[in-house]
């Protein structure tokens, strides 16, 4: 098992990404946290087909940007976690418009938080959902 230094000097275990590939990516992703329906469908069909189905059925269809892919790799977030945040979210923020006129909606999932442009479906960024945010929302 690979460990990584965490907050307060504690060792946090890292397990291989739950996508069935030997990609060398490690994450704190725990497949037991997945929604049972998503977990069952992914065991039958495979993670890629479940992610593709969720991304295509969102209105508008979701597309990954290069920025989001870079952040996913840096933050060790898998596509199935993003799909779960979109499909089985615990909270959705109101649409926000920044000073440049760009709009975004934030989906808070149990494992990941995802920011999406609601007009064109682009994934803007993704990051881990912090425990205090998750507990506050629930």
In a domain, 89, yes or no: yes
**Are 47 and 17 in contact, with CB atoms under 8 Å apart?**
no
Asked, for residue 47, whether it belongs to a domain, the answer is yes
Report if residue 9 sits inside a domain: no
For residue 76, being part of any structural domain is answered with yes
The per-residue pLDDT for 31 is 54
Domains of the chain: total: 1
Give per-residue pLDDT as tens, 2-60.
545 555 544 444 444 444 444 444 444 455 566 666 766 666 666 677 778 888 888 88
- Residue 28 in any domain: the answer is no
Is there a domain that residue 97 lies in? yes
For residue 22, tell me if it sits in a domain. no
- Residue 116, strand partner residues: 105, 123
pLDDT per position as a tens digit, 52-97: 888 888 888 889 999 999 999 999 998 889 988 998 888 999 999 9
In this prediction, residues 98-105 reach a mean pLDDT of 92
> Strand locations in the chain, DSSP E?
2-5, 11-16, 26-27, 63-64, 91-92, 96-97, 103-108, 112-116, 122-128
Average pLDDT of the segment spanning 117-131: 91
Asked if residue 53 belongs to a domain, the reply is: yes
Tell me which residue range forms the domain holding 65: 35-137
Angle at 118 between CA 31 and CA 134, to 5 degrees: 40
Mean per-residue pLDDT of the chain: 77
């Amino acid at each position: 098992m690979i460990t990584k230094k965490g907050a307060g000097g504690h060792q946090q275990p890292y397990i291989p990404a739950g996508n069935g590939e030997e990609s060398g990516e490690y994450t704190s992703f725990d497949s037991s946290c997945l929604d049972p329906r998503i977990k069952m469908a992914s065991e039958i069909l495979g993670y890629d087909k479940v992610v593709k189905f969720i991304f295509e059925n969102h209105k508008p269809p979701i597309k990954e940007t290069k920025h989001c892919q870079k952040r996913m790799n840096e933050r060790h977030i898998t596509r199935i976690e993003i799909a779960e945040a979109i499909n089985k979210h615990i909270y959705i923020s109101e649409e926000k418009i920044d000073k440049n006129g760009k709009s975004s909606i934030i989906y808070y999932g149990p494992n990941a938080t995802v920011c999406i442009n609601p007009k064109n479906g682009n994934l803007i960024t993704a990051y881990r959902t912090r425990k205090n945010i998750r507990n506050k929302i629930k």
